[in-house]
Amino acid sequence: MGETRMQLIDQRDWTWTLYADGERRYLSVLCGTIAMYELTIELDAGERARIGESGFLDALAREVSYRPDSYKARHVMGFRASD
């Protein structure tokens, strides 16, 4: 059957990476100071609609990085961009 394949759409080194899986979009954000970790959220319809806006992904990633506890409920556990 048809299998979707995760694609890297855009990224800012050491900040965030945007992935696509069909119509779904995932933003992986580097968080932390000493102990770095990645927090990945699936973008909702409103966020997906704003992807093309200048500076939107940078601002969203900054918000996730500064306030990761506010986004932990949206974290995609076990997210893997590739096999």
Query: Which amino acid makes up residue 65?
Result: S
pTM score? 0.89
**pLDDT above 60: residue 17:** yes
**pLDDT above 60: residue 2:** no
Rounded-to-integer distance, Cα 69 and Cα 56, Å: 20
**Number of neighbouring beta carbons within 10 Å of residue 68:** 15
Model confidence at 4, pLDDT cuts 50, 70, 90, reads low
Residue ranges per domain, the chain? 7-74
The DSSP code for 81 is S
**Number of neighbouring beta carbons within 10 Å of residue 5:** 10
